[in-house]
A = this chain, B = another copy of it.
Amino acid sequence: MTGSPDIREGEVTVGFDPAQTPDASVHFIGKVQSPWSPGDCPKNLRQAREDGRGAVLVLKPAFAPALAGLEVGQAIIVAYWMHAARRDMVVQAPRHLDEPRGSFAIRSPNRPNPVSLGTVTITAIDLDAGRVEIDAIDCFDGTPLVDIKPWLPTIDTPA
A102-159 contacts to B (CB < 8 Å): 102-107, 111-113, 115, 117-121, 135-136, 144, 146-152, 154-159
Among B24, B115, B152, the residue within 8 A (CB) of A147 is: B115
Interface of chain A, helix or strand or loop or mixed? mixed
Contact status B102-A24, CB under 8 Å: no
What CA separation (Å) do A66 and B91 show in the bound complex?
A: 6
Contact status B23-A112, CB under 8 Å: no
Cβ–Cβ < 8 Å partners of A69 in chain B: 101-102, 105-106
Among B18, B44, B119, B148, the residue within 8 A (CB) of A157 is: B119
A27 within 8 A of B: yes
Cβ–Cβ < 8 Å partners of A111 in chain B: 66, 147
Are A22 and B14 CB-contacts (below 8 A) given A117-B156, A146-B113?
no
Contact status A62-B15, CB under 8 Å: yes
Contact status B49-A65, CB under 8 Å: no
Interface segment, A1-9, A33-41, A73-81? A73-81
Closest B residue, CB atoms, query A89: B66
Among B29, B100, B150, the residue within 8 A (CB) of A112 is: B29
A14-B63, A25-B25, A113-B146 given; name 5 further pairs at CB < 8 Å: A66-B90, A68-B105, A112-B147, A115-B115, A118-B155
The 7 A-B residue pairs whose C-beta atoms are closest, nearest first, are: A69-B105, A22-B25, A18-B27, A68-B102, A69-B101, A75-B158, A104-B148
